[in-house]
Amino acid sequence: MPGSETTVVMTPVVRDESTSGLLRELVAHLRQNRTQLREEWARRITEAKLLTAMSPEEVFAEATAVYDNYLEALETGSIEALETYARNLSERIIPRGVETNEVVGIVLLLRDVLARSLFAKYRRDFEQLDHILDAYEPAANRIAITVSVGFVQERERVIRQQQEAIRELSTPVLPVRERLLILPIIGIIDPQRARQLTEQLLRGIRVNRAKVVVMDITGVPAMDATVANHLVQTVEAARLLGATVIVTGLSPEIAQTLVNIGVDLGKMNTVGDMQGGIEEAERLLGYRVAPVVVETAAAAP
Amino acid sequence: MTVPILKQRDYLIASIQAALTDADLKHLRDALVAQVGDYRSRGVIVDVTALDVMDSFAVRTLRDLAHMTRLRGAETVIVGIQPEVAFAMTQLGLRLEGVAAALDLEEGLAYLDSRVKRGGMTRQRLEG
Amino acid sequence: MSQRVTVNNTGPMTDGVRLDRAQITVPITSDLDIVAARQRGRLLAVELGYTATQATLIATAISELARNIVLYATRGEILLTGANDGARVGIVVTARDQGPGIKDVPYAIAGGHSTSGGLGLGLAGVRRLMDVFEITSLLGQGTTVTVTSWKR
């Protein structure tokens, strides 16, 4: 889904010559001490009980990749590669239950580990340390934000996807026999659900070439004017695709609401219960309903 | 752009091929109403599969078309309304009141056949 | 007398709505332009990744707004712009004319779910197709309708 994600506007980091020089020096130092700092970071992650869903080897592998991407971002000032990596990482670890605080936590730990190593290196030269930190801090913060935001965006995307899936599952459009669909609606209908339900039903009618739809609302606890009008719209939209909707399961309360708010029930084809609705549907489709003789005696043990 | 109108048995079939302007739609309506008389047609099918928008003007024109052809003895059925278009129409509050709709051409023909057959039977009874 | 009415179907408008710099302008002078305007709108919606259903809702709304221009103001224009409020992508459609203006704006956009509310301008319907609806009308000076649809 391009374009749907939260976009974060980063003010471009203006780098003058001295900053670039400092960052070069910084990156050279971090590259030199890569093995030790990486291990230090992984150790701190384990100590802080972050990323517990992952094995120590996995943590170390990811730590290495993040470390290298981190250095690259510091060096080039471009966070694109890191952004891509952060997205991939998030995709991999979200299904394993890694939480936002863990991701933010590990990035901040890396910032701390690297800052400490800078303190150690420059502790005899405070002025130089000051300059180095001036160059390091904005870059490091920018990287921390990039990784955290990448994770949160990915999580939002996953949540949206799940919501969509749940909504679709909550109103199944069931083809019961040729040209007949059943749409049992259970639970509260809000405008958003009504919209989604209508879209799904219309697609179902097209795909199954349905002529009749039995819409059972036994499981709908309450209805107000807005929802009732949505249902009337759904019925009309189905008719535009050549399908007749039979509404079943109107409770006495809902029937009263509909009459009170003046919904034109004359336009709606209503039958008491789902069984009656299906019989009516079969009549419309031209099927003859034959009584079924069940031989219970023979089936009994 | 003009919409070709085909004559098949007792029916007229108009297949819209692309987006139509208001003037095109009015022209189609007038042509169909005239030809129903010329050919003594019993049914009209308007295939709107190619229309990606049916706004208030289109709906009003098709509704008028259906009512006018009915007065001239022919039943009109609109076929091929896309699911998205049906959805937008109802959201907009537009109804094709008193106008038959069917999924596609085949369904539209089946619908007209059933109507005309029933109509024919009524006439026989009246005559006899 | 200028009248301005805003209807927001999606809760309070977030402050930080940014419009894309690129704007599509479609002059509206005849019913041919109605078709052109809605086709451009659909294209933009598809480019921004809208579903077919939402693209159709947007195209239908544009068609209604453009027709109002042709019918009541003779000429005007439709502006199409992509938008972003930080969390969502949207399309903003502005229909602008220097026509006679609307006398009773609240009446013109009234009409809950009935076929034709108010003056039969279809404005009530357009309101239902889009998420945010804003109209400013000045008698004798013209009307501007601005509608936004957020991508779902």
Is the CB of residue A6 less than 8 Å away from at least one CB of chain C?
Answer: yes
Q: Which chain C positions have a beta carbon within 8 Å of A225's beta carbon?
A: 112
| Percentage of chain C exceeding pLDDT 70 | 83
- Check residue A186 and give its pLDDT: 87
- Please list every residue in chain C whose beta carbon sits closer than 8 Å to the beta carbon of residue B54: 60
Residues C60-105 pLDDT 10s: 999 999 999 998 898 999 999 999 887 788 999 999 999 999 888 8
ipTM for the predicted complex: 0.89
B57 vs C contacts (CB less than 8 Å):
63, 67
Distance in Å, alpha carbon of A286 to nearest chain B alpha carbon: 12
- What's chain C's Rg over C-alpha atoms? 14
Read off the DSSP letter of residue B47: E
- Beta carbon pairs, A and C, within 8 Å: 20
pLDDT (mean) for A37-47: 90
The string of pLDDT tens digits covering residues A98-137 is 888 899 999 999 999 999 999 999 989 888 899 888 888 8
pLDDT tens-digit series, residues C103-115: 888 888 876 444 4
Determine the pLDDT at residue B36: 95
- For residues C106 and C37, the answer to whether their CB atoms sit within 8 Å is no
The whole-chain average pLDDT of chain B stands at 89
- The 10s digit of each residue's pLDDT in A17-38 is 677 788 888 889 999 999 999 9
**Over the range A81-101, which residues count as b (16 or more CB within 10 Å of their CB) and which as e?**
ebbebbbebbeebbeeebeee
- Residues across chain B: 128
Interchain proximity B96–A240, CB inside 8 Å:
yes
Residues 61-100 of B with CB under 8 A from A: 78-79, 81, 83-84, 86-87, 89-91, 95-96
CB atoms within 10 A of CB A291: 5
CATH number for the domain including B22?
3.30.750.24
Structural domains in chain C plus CATH codes: 2-150 (3.30.565.10)
- Which of A203, A233, A239 is the closest to B101 by Cβ? A239
Question: Is C86–A4 a contact, with Cβ atoms under 8 angstroms apart?
Answer: no
Percent of chain A with pLDDT over 70: 88
Report phi then psi at B118, rounded to 5.
-65, -45
Is pLDDT at B37 greater than 70 in this prediction?
Answer: yes
The answer to whether the predicted template modeling score (pTM) of the entire model surpasses 0.90 is no
pLDDT at residue B124, rounded to an integer: 38
Residues of chain B contacting A198 with CB distance shorter than 8 Å: 87, 90
Is B122 touching C (CB cutoff 8 A)? no
Containing H/E element for C137? strand C132-138
Cβ atoms A155, A94 nearer than 8 A? yes
Domain count, chain B: 1
What is the residue whose two structure tokens read 């006439």?
B123
User: pLDDT by residue (tens digit) across B73-108?
Assistant: 999 999 999 999 999 999 988 888 889 999 999 999
pLDDT of res. A167: 72
Q: A240 and B79: CB-CB below 8 Å?
A: no
pLDDT at A264 over 80: no
Q: pLDDT-derived band of residue A288, with 50, 70 and 90 as boundaries?
A: low
The answer to whether the CB of C30 falls within 8 A of the CB of C70 is yes
Q: Which residue has the tokens 């730990």?
A: A109
C119 or B32: which leads in pLDDT: B32
- Whether the pLDDT of residue A7 is over 70: the answer is no
Question: Is B101 in contact with A199 (Cβ distance < 8 A)?
Answer: no
Tell me if A199 and C53 make a contact (CB, 8 A cut-off): yes
User: Which of B53, B87, B94 shows the shortest C-beta gap to C53?
Assistant: B87
Neighbours of chain C (3+ CB pairs under 8 A): A, B
Give the range of the structural domain holding residue B34, as residue numbers without chain letter.
5-127
The pairing of strands B5-8 and A269-271 is unpaired
Q: b or e along C6-18 (b: 16 or more beta carbons within 10 Å of the residue's beta carbon)?
A: ebeeeeeeeeebe
Under the banding of pLDDT at 50, 70 and 90, the label for residue C1 is low
